[in-house]
Structure 1
Amino acid sequence: MKEQNEPFRSGFVAIVGRPNVGKSTLINEMIGQKIAIMSDKPQTTRNKIHGVYTTEHTQIVFLDTPGIHKPQHKLGDMMNQSAVGTLGEVDAVLFLIDVAEGLGGGDRYIIEQLKKVNTPVFLIMNKIDKVEPEQLLPLIAQYKELHEFTEVVPISALQGNNISTLLEVLTGYLPEGPQYYPADQITDHPEQFVCAELIREKILHLTREEIPHSIAVTIEDMRVQDNGVVYIGAVIFVERDSQKGIVIGKQGALLKEVGKQARKDIELLLGSRTFLELWVKVKKDWRNQERILKDLGFRNE
């Protein structure tokens, strides 16, 4: 229960970390609904995902940035610029690490960026379910030698361990401020963006190692039909003809399965029956062409 004189606190919080440490899993767990796609492949997140967590006395807008990594192409460079640029825009930063992986060169690079930040930086030790408790203290000491973190919070984003504690501690560092979004809004991205991301997630899961991150999805058409069913027409872009064949699959089987799985998640998101139609097109070398990247919705600001 909110006390009569308790101030309303709000702010923007960035989640940063090496690729594949669980940033998207964490933001989905905190928000309570899937808005960021999850995959065991690195560099899954390409855009800053704004997830909104709201209680009676708090609103936190989370930015799930792309994993900071050594870029191999123009898309990778734009992803890095997006992640690092976010650090100067927020009220606090959550630096997420994988405790099972330990301290690596990628972490050291990110910590160097964090040293330039004047806002509170939390060390969030994810995947504690994968290690013994006695392994955590030496690891904390290693990270603290490199940077003086405002708080250290061990969690398991996948199992939901200590997430409520993290939110409670984080709230204490937020300034008094307005409620930026309605209480029932969980993201500032349009539904089309989230639907496209859910389709891309299914492709990554179903193609496994056969398809690298040369996949992009755009929603060409989205409308409510007379019968109340939401029609969605989506285009899946790949870089080569051989990849097109893989995504479609034998007699269209894989593409059909992508549509089936994506439709289930989309219907949960929209709360409505959905008819999903998918096409696969080739845009050669799209990850290195800035004009195409912008057409597909990727930004480096």
Structure 2
Amino acid sequence: MTENTVTEETKEFRSGYVAVIGRPNVGKSTLINALVGEKVSITSKKPQTTRDRIMGVLTTDDTQYIFVDTPGFQTKHSSELLSRMNQSVKSSLADVDAVVLVIEATGWRPEDLTVLSLLSKEAKNVILAINKTDEVKESEAMLPLITESMQKFPFAEVVPVSAEKGRQLKVLLQVIRKFLPEGDKLFEDDIYTDKSPRFLAAEIIREKAFRLLGDELPYGVAVMIDKWEETDKLARIFATLIVNRESHKGIVIGEKGAKLREISRLAREDIEEMLGKKVYLEVWVRVRKGWGDDAGVLKSLGYGQ
């Protein structure tokens, strides 16, 4: 083989940023977790689970994808927290190489169109991911939806996927790759998120609270890591779960502390898996009225900085 011979397997390395946007609870975080193969963003059936921009990094032999998981764009409620979250969505669209807009296979909703309006008609490299295809019985139902979607916006590509079932994810990655520039890796191979273990631990605790409390607990809940002590074999983590009202405190704690113990147990298991070591986790509940409109509290929690 001469020096000028190039094998079919040889590919130029590509790397770039991909913003993943969509309305609340459309499955953006689940999609990124599935693509990256690691838990970089928490999920629940509650809308607005993601509150901050979170990067998930996937490195393959020929590509490094840097996904930016954004909060679902919110128009129904108003608070300082939601204002910061919406600004996070808008700022994520700047300086990215591609955008993935996520909608559900059941069709477009008014909230989807609100997110679509954030994109100019001249925006390039916008991919539509039609998620939750496992919830639609007939695959043929996708064709009218794809046709309708192309009438709404000149998408570069449309890819039906199921983040939950792992369907068509490789196809989506291949499509995204086409729009990423040639270039070197921006992160080391073993990096899968830009967030610290402290941030991820707090998010895991918040996820368990959302999942266990369901509709019992209103939206106003946050988690702060108060103390973190770590050795080679053990991490000791002390955290505070912040709620808006005194009545919410009892909901989180549960009868004889049962609910809080379960939140802590499930969170500890996930954090142990993340850190690869034993974890001692202690979670307390504290009332902080109006924390969602308190800029100082929001800054200390790391939201929308």
Deviations 1:90-130 (A, max 9, x none): 10000000112x11111111222112663310000001111
Superposition pairs of residues 131-280 of structure 1, within 5 angstroms: 131=136, 132-225=138-231, 228-280=233-285
Give the drift of 1:207: 0.7
Q: Unaligned 5+ residue runs, structure 2?
A: 1-6
AA matched with 1:16: I
CA distance in 2, matches of 1:196, 1:241: 21
AA matched with 2:206: R
Give the drift of 1:293: 1.0
Name the residue aligned to 1:83: 89
CA distance in 2, matches of 1:37, 1:249: 23
Q: Does the aligned pair in 2 maintain the 1:115–1:147 contact within 8 Å?
A: no
Deviations 1:23-66 (A, max 9, x none): 01001101111111110010010011100000121101100000
Give the drift of 1:6: 2.8
CA distance in 1, matches of 2:89, 2:95: 11
Name the residue aligned to 1:295: 300
Which among 280, 283, 291 is matched to residue 288 of structure 2?
Answer: 283
Flag the 1:127–1:112 CA change in 2: closer, same or farther, 3 A: same
4+ long deviations beyond 4 Å: 2-5
Look up the SS of the partner of 1:60 in the other structure.
Answer: strand
Q: Unaligned 5+ residue runs, structure 1?
A: none
Look up the SS of the partner of 1:294 in the other structure.
Answer: helix
AA matched with 1:65: T
Please give the TM-score of this superposition, normalised by the length of structure 1.
Answer: 0.95
Look up the SS of the partner of 1:298 in the other structure.
Answer: coil
Look up the SS of the partner of 2:223 in the other structure.
Answer: strand
AA matched with 2:66: V
Deviations 1:70-105 (A, max 9, x none): 0422211111111122111210000000112x1111
CA RMSD, Structure 1 to Structure 2 (Å): 1.5
Flag the 1:271–1:265 CA change in 2: closer, same or farther, 3 A: same
Deviations 1:168-215 (A, max 9, x none): 121121101121111011001001001100000000011111112211
Which among 7, 30, 43 is matched to residue 38 of structure 1?
Answer: 43
Look up the SS of the partner of 2:93 in the other structure.
Answer: helix
1:122 is aligned to 2:127: yes
Which among 43, 66, 69 is matched to residue 74 of structure 2?
Answer: 69
Name the residue aligned to 2:4: none
Give the drift of 1:220: 1.4
CA distance in 1, matches of 2:191, 2:174: 20
Look up the SS of the partner of 2:184 in the other structure.
Answer: coil
CA distance in 2, matches of 1:169, 1:175: 13
AA matched with 2:80: K
Look up the SS of the partner of 2:247 in the other structure.
Answer: helix
AA matched with 2:60: T
CA distance in 2, matches of 1:97, 1:194: 26
Q: Does the aligned pair in 1 maintain the 2:121–2:154 contact within 8 Å?
A: no
Flag the 1:14–1:233 CA change in 2: closer, same or farther, 3 A: same
Give the drift of 1:4: 8.2
CA distance in 2, matches of 1:98, 1:277: 38
AA matched with 1:47: D
Identity %: 44
AA matched with 2:171: T
* Paired residues, number: 297
1:7 is aligned to 2:15: no
Give the drift of 1:228: 2.3
Which among 59, 64, 84 is matched to residue 59 of structure 1?
Answer: 64
Which among 101, 105, 112 is matched to residue 107 of structure 1?
Answer: 112
Give the drift of 1:18: 0.7
Q: Does the aligned pair in 2 maintain the 1:216–1:238 contact within 8 Å?
A: yes
Please give the TM-score of this superposition, normalised by the length of structure 2.
Answer: 0.94
Q: Does the aligned pair in 1 maintain the 2:124–2:156 contact within 8 Å?
A: no
Deviations 1:215-246 (A, max 9, x none): 10111111224x82111111111111111111
Q: Does the aligned pair in 2 maintain the 1:87–1:117 contact within 8 Å?
A: no
Give the drift of 1:5: 5.5
Give the drift of 1:148: 0.4
